[in-house]
Amino acid sequence: MILSFAEMTTQASETPNKDIPEEINGLRMTRQRQEVYRFLMGERIHPTANEVFMGIKKALPNVSLATVYNCLEALVQHKIIRQVNFDREPSRYCPNLDEHGHFHDETTGTIHDVKFKPGINLTDLLDLPPNTVIKDIEITLRGQLA
């Protein structure tokens, strides 16, 4: 495959991604951010930064791992995606913005989104100190899909 000059340059002027808007939540969607976001939306496998890096290389051969980290951080900070951590493992990234938890299947290593049953408000079930303002809840499950 022969790359056009535009495809070989390093920055956002490269061939645009038609199906992803130029801006989301006030964040300018550069070509790199678009590819990172597209990859997350496509394979919803909660990939690590490095898996994203490898996954977008075909579309963006000159992208750097630092840029992937920058893009992921920007997307997280603008609440376009979420960062998910399991113990001390590499961070993973999730484009599902609905309130949900994460089930880590130990046999396959895969991660599955877990919804709450309808009508459940989690903070109601917790014995929280009075005057507590909760900004974020994270639920992580570990086990096996027998």
Residues engaged in binding Mn ion (CB under 5 A): 48-50, 90
SS (H, E, C) 45-58: CCCEHHHHHHHCCC
Name every residue whose Cβ is closer than 8 Å to that of residue 111 and which is 6 or more positions away in sequence: 45, 46, 84, 86, 92, 102, 103, 104, 105
For residue 80, the partner it binds in Mn ion, DNA, Zn ion, none, with Cβ less than 5 to 8 A by kind, is none
The token pair that represents 32 in the structure block: 């790199």
**Which string of x and - marks every residue 59-88 that binds DNA (by CB under 7 A)?**
-x-xxxxxx-xxx-xx-------------x
51-84 burial, b for 16+ CB within 10 Å, e for fewer? Answer: bbbebbeebbeebeeebbbebbebbeeeebbbeb
Total residues contacting a copy of itself (rule CB under 8 A)?
A: 37
Q: Radius of gyration of the chain from Cα atoms?
A: 18
Listed ranges 26-34, 42-50, 66-74, 84-92: which one lies at the site for a copy of itself (CB under 8 A): 84-92
Which of 7, 96, 103, 140 is close enough to bind Zn ion by CB under 5 A? 96
Nearest distance from C-beta of residue 77 to DNA, angstroms: 11
Residue ranges binding Zn ion (CB under 5 A): 94, 96, 113
Residue ranges binding DNA (CB under 7 A): 9-13, 27-28, 30-33, 48-50, 60, 62-67, 69-71, 73-74, 88, 90-91
